[in-house]
Structures are given as C-alpha cells and as structure tokens.
Amino acid sequence: MPTPPDPAALYPDVAGCGSLATALRAEAEGCLGGEPVTASISDPLRHATVASTLPHRKPLQISAWSYERRWSIRGEEPFQGMPLIDGRTDDLAQVARAARAWHEGAPLNDIRQAAPFVHLTGRFEVPDNDPARLTESEWQGMRQEAADLEYAWQETYQNLIEAAHAEPALRALYPFTSHWALRFSTTTRPDLTVVGPCLSANSDGTYGVGRGIISQDLGQFATAQEAVAVAVRQLSSGLGPTTLGG
C-alpha cells in the first residue's frame, strides 16, 4: 500500500488552524465553543471528538481520511458502544453542523436534517438502558443495515432478517451477526449470552440453519420462513425476556 500523503497537503485549511478541532469551531462560527471539541493528542489534524450535552451519547468521533479529502463521523450510545449515526462527506461545514446538533442534543432525525450526509443506523436512543428497548433498537439497526447493503445477496439477507424479526420467539431475543450469520442472545451487549442456532443467507438464494457459525447441519431451505421455523424449534423453552449484558 502506498504511503499516505502528508495530512497538511490534503487538509491545508485544517493545518492552517492547527487542528481539526479548531477548524470545526471555525466552521461552526463559535457555536461549538471551546470545551466540547477535543483534538486528538496523537493526530490533531485528522481526529477530533465533540461532547454531547446528553449523558446517553458518547462524544461524536470525527476522522479525516488518509488518502483523499473526506471526513467520517460516528456517534455512539455509551452502554453498548453501538452507532446511532455515522456518515462521510467532503464538506467540513456539514461535519460542523452535524457536530453542533449532536452536541446540543438534537433528535437523531433533526441531526440528519441539519447535515444530510448523516446516515441513521436505525437504532434509537434508550437513555435508561431498558434491555427490552435495547433489543428492539438492535433489531431496528439490523433491519436498516440489511436494507442498506449493496451486495449481490442483499435481498436474500434482508429476507432472512425480516423473517426472523417477524417471529415473536426470535424477536424477543437480542440479535447479532458473526461472519454474516444471524445469531441470538438472552443478554444485550457488551456481554452476549448466545442461545439457539445460527441462520445464514447463502449466495445461491437458499437459507441455512446450523449449530455453528459456518455449518448448516440443521438444514438448507428454499425460503427464509422455513429456516426460521427450524431455528425456533431448536430454542430452549423458558428463555424469558432479555437482560442487560455486563
């Protein structure tokens, strides 16, 4: 891989300000103030964070790309460290608008209205860390991720996620993926308690059910609904509602 260019060459305006944090404050016309924006100690031209007034939001992470002039953002909730928003743009003014809205505690949809490059992950905020709501939020995030995929088997994978979500026994469990296999837990992140089999969407349009991540030893099926039905029959009885992990 070639050596990346000097950040000062890609971002001369940022270099002129001394740090990405200072450049963001300038773009926000002072509205971000001095305290919420923190420059990276190790790489101040490429990384900064913006604190939020809401305790259930981690500081927004802002990073400059190494090989082309572009910035990425990621805004997480603190209990699980899962993203609520992300996005990438070559417009620093839009980054500043997103940062200001995140800092001020604007609703997620309003952040996207303020800065259209912002991508909503589908997760919603759960200030009290209620495990049932965290589970619901993660399902919404997984459904959004499946809808956003651009791979050739996107439709197959989305069908699997939607079929699993439509089944009450699986919808009550916390979903996660490992090697693109859909799995389930009785606890939320950060400490998952795995239960039941793995469901997979195959490149040939079929669906697999297996005891392991890669295996399909419990069968291969033509429809997502058939695979989900087999997975439900493999669940232990009396799993109960999800609880907080960790």
Q: Which tens digits make up the pLDDT trace of 172-203?
A: 999 999 888 999 999 999 999 999 999 999 99
pTM: 0.93
Task: Choose the most confident range, by mean pLDDT, from 4-8, 24-28, 98-102.
Answer: 98-102
Q: Which tens digits make up the pLDDT trace of 126-161?
A: 999 999 999 999 999 999 999 999 888 899 999 999
Percent with pLDDT over 90 in the chain: 87
Write down the pLDDT at residue 213. 80
Residue 193 φ/ψ region, left for φ over 0, alpha for ψ in the -120 to 50 degree band, beta for the rest: beta
Mean pLDDT taken over the chain: 95
Residue-range domain boundaries for the chain:
7-120, 131-233
Q: Which tens digits make up the pLDDT trace of 31-79?
A: 777 668 999 999 999 999 999 999 999 999 999 999 999 999 999 999 9
Write down the pLDDT at residue 152. 81
